[in-house]
Structure 1
Amino acid sequence: MDKWKALIIALGMLQLINCQEMKKNDTPMPTYEVQISHPWNNYMITPVEDKIITLEGVPAGLPYGSSSGTWGDSGKGFTEQSGTPVGADIVYFSRYEDTFYHLKADFPKDKVLDMVQRAYANNESDSSEEPLKEFISIKDEPDYYEKYNKFGMSYYKFGTLVFGFAPKGMVVVWFRYGYVSVQLGEFQAEVVKDDTKYADKLFSKISQTREEIKQRMFIPDASPEEWKNYQKRYSWAPYISSENKAFRLFRTQAEYYNGEKEIMLRPWGIKPPLKERAIPKEISFFWETGKGQSFEGRAFFNWKKVNEQFEKSGKDFKLDLKIAPDNNSMEILINNQPVLVDSTRIYQSDVKFKESY
């Protein structure tokens, strides 16, 4: 009898351990908004049939209507979708090309599973003194929200799936975490040769005819070359410094031509690591040199000019943004050579940080 009791207890303990292990590995299903973006308003596309393929088999899709906004940001929200996105099956009409395309894409599964478990730091934490990281794993830190976001949002989990549609069937997908946007990949849609079925379906629902849209919107020389070029990456990092001994850098945020966005906070943002980054479109940063001496700087970049310099700068390099000791100007250099920028600006700032003077 004692043996049976021991066996029952052992089986009970094993079941408890298995339940605990399952609970540990049972991560919530991702929920997110979906956006459909384009480079400019004259590059509009309209989905006809759409399906976001999810790992769990949960139905998910695109928002109703046509693309909007700018590259990587439609500017519109949409009812939340659920399920881990591992692919897309989309038929859409490119209004300016008078062409139907079919995107049948499998997303890189391992990359998706990694990215949906991330939460990226957007702001300092008011509820934790632990040093911030660029991102954390919510699987490893399931209590992250209570720990870091108790008194205000610091770490943002995956919250927006963004599609970008460029000419000739070029499609790019980003995962967004608050402000931070990370590219998942680039995909290629194919021309639908026999489009009668899709044309009938689309034009039966809208007031314009196909010929009217073509007369008004057709761009005969539409090319994806510009957005293909924006995909170029180099191993580099922005380094912001000053000879003013009281200089304290707090926050850097960068917007890149490929649609990605990055935030760098203390401590890692003081000397951010080298990694593959696209050409910057705009870099903004906040610093102080004493009480009442708080500033925001901005630098705006021209893709063609900067890309020419990046190509000649070697494998690993720093983009140095050097602020004058009096905080009135800055110079931007690569390997001690001036970088041609569109403009730079410096403003007084009233933004406060934990280590502010």
Structure 2
Amino acid sequence: MKTYLIILVLLLTLTSSCQEKKTEKKMQATKTEKFNWQDGSSCPIGYPIEVYRGGFEAEDGTYVSLQAGTDNGEGGWGDPGTGGMSSGIKTVPNRLNVQWVAYAENCVYEINTEVDYDKMVQYFKEGYQESLVFFNKGGKYEKETYSYIVVGYAPDGAVYIWLAGSGKQVEIGRYQGKKVVIPQAEIDKLDGFEKLMHQKGESERIMNNPEMVPPEIREANKNKPIPFGLWDRYRERYSWRPIFNSIQEGWSMIDCGIDMFNGENESLFDQSLVKNEFEKRAIPKLINIGWRDKTGQNYSGTFWFDEKEIFDAFHTIFKDKPNGEAEIEIRISKGNMDISAFLIGNGKETGINMKTKVEIFEARTKY
């Protein structure tokens, strides 16, 4: 009986070990999905950064360096710019391990963290419908997918990751780095730009370089503290949708593009425009609309919202009902030469036009 029990225990141990190894292999297998993507980096304009060391790491040992020179944020928050040096079919990363210089703060940050692999794979597989493809191919639906994994570096070591593609960008997550000091002995061994980025006075030189920080941005930020936490505020989400209204007869909407302060963007067209469902979205930075009058003449209009005005409007509308719903009603004049926007919801209405920049374009041809 004693021998039997020993054998039984050994068998159970072996079985458990095999199951654990199978589970481990299965988990590893789920972290080796590959897609065609390129790395990109982003920072807020006025707060240039430069990656010193590191990049994306994947479960299968794949490594993608994120060193790509100084990023000045010219393309806007979340924009991948020209991208990094690595483009092609690669494994989706599950870690971010980077050290970067934050020139506005004159310091180095480091982050070594797991990133949301599963969420990225899900988005890559699902893809999306892109309006330019739809309209250029006569209303034919063809699924697009994302082409960039973008890392955004904000002040105070805040790090954000997006997937970006043509006409669509989604946030993957927000992560936190910490300040580190690079040993002088390590710096002394460096060559060229790697050594230069750590030299005394380099941060000041970068911040005073008009190609790195535009003069108007430097002047606007002069004597003001760095707005730590601002880019987390941009991530506020509310349930809202755009709606469209005109007193003219026979008009129709074509499409609507939305760029949000948190770096995300999306397009509504055809069925998504018809359904136009409420979604938990960040606050819009820009809304572009396309419409057609009864003669077939096409128009497009763009709203560039003032940051303070539109944030104040959302906070007013959602103050008492943070989980409520609201609509940005866009009103098109009878002559198609004037558009205005109003935020309506939870029993309240407020205009968002006082400081909003508006532009209207009339297409040369009719469709």
- What's the TM-score once normalised by structure 1's chain length? 0.77
CA–CA separation in structure 2 for the residues paired with 1:211 and 1:236? 48
Match of 2:79 among 73, 88, 113: 73
Match of 1:39 among 44, 47, 55: 44
The alignment status of 1:297 with 2:286, answered yes or no, reads no
Cα distance change, pair 259–351 in 1 and its aligned pair in 2 (3 A): farther
CA–CA separation in structure 2 for the residues paired with 1:310 and 1:215? 37
Residue 100 of structure 1 aligns with which residue?
108
Q: Is the 1:72–1:162 contact (alpha carbons within 8 Å) kept by the matching residues of 2? A: yes
Q: Across the two proteins, how many residue pairs are aligned to each other?
A: 305
Residue 232 of structure 1 aligns with which residue?
236
CA–CA separation in structure 1 for the residues paired with 2:183 and 2:334? 63
Q: Is the 1:67–1:74 contact (alpha carbons within 8 Å) kept by the matching residues of 2? A: no
Cα distance change, pair 299–246 in 1 and its aligned pair in 2 (3 A): same
CA–CA separation in structure 2 for the residues paired with 1:194 and 1:64? 19
CA–CA separation in structure 2 for the residues paired with 1:115 and 1:63? 25
Residue 30 of structure 1 aligns with which residue?
35
Residue 338 of structure 1 aligns with which residue?
351
Residue 338 of structure 2 aligns with which residue?
329
Match of 1:187 among 175, 183, 196: 175
Cα distance change, pair 200–320 in 1 and its aligned pair in 2 (3 A): farther
* Alignment of structure 1 residues 1-357 onto 2, 5 Å: 29-40=34-45, 42-68=46-72, 69=74, 70-78=76-84, 79-81=86-88, 82-123=90-131, 124=134, 148=142, 155-193=143-181, 195-196=183-184, 199-200=187-188, 205-206=193-194, 208=196, 210-217=199-206, 221-314=225-318, 315-335=324-344, 336-340=349-353, 341-350=355-364, 356=367
- Whichever residue aligns with residue 29 of structure 1, its letter is K
CA shift, 1:205, in A, is 3.9
- Structure whose residues are more often helix by fraction: 2
CA–CA separation in structure 2 for the residues paired with 1:178 and 1:244? 33
The Cα offsets for residues 118-168 of structure 1, whole Å up to 9 and x where unpaired, read as 2222221666867x5xxxxxxxxxxxxxxx3xxxxxx32110111111111
CA shift, 1:51, in A, is 2.5
Cα distance change, pair 43–50 in 1 and its aligned pair in 2 (3 A): same
Q: Is the 2:41–2:83 contact (alpha carbons within 8 Å) kept by the matching residues of 1? A: no
Q: Is the 2:41–2:81 contact (alpha carbons within 8 Å) kept by the matching residues of 1? A: no
CA–CA separation in structure 2 for the residues paired with 1:31 and 1:291? 43
- The 3-state SS of whatever aligns with 2:329 is strand
CA–CA separation in structure 1 for the residues paired with 2:272 and 2:364? 23
Larger deviation, residues 216-225 vs 324-333: 216-225
CA shift, 1:67, in A, is 1.8
Cα distance change, pair 203–182 in 1 and its aligned pair in 2 (3 A): same
Ranges in structure 1 where 5+ consecutive residues have no aligned partner: 1-24, 133-147, 149-154
Cα distance change, pair 198–268 in 1 and its aligned pair in 2 (3 A): farther
Residue 16 of structure 1 aligns with which residue?
none
CA–CA separation in structure 2 for the residues paired with 1:215 and 1:345? 38
CA–CA separation in structure 2 for the residues paired with 1:165 and 1:88? 12
- The 3-state SS of whatever aligns with 2:63 is coil
Ranges in structure 2 where 5+ consecutive residues have no aligned partner: 1-29, 208-221, 319-323
Q: Is the 2:48–2:103 contact (alpha carbons within 8 Å) kept by the matching residues of 1? A: yes
CA–CA separation in structure 1 for the residues paired with 2:126 and 2:257? 19
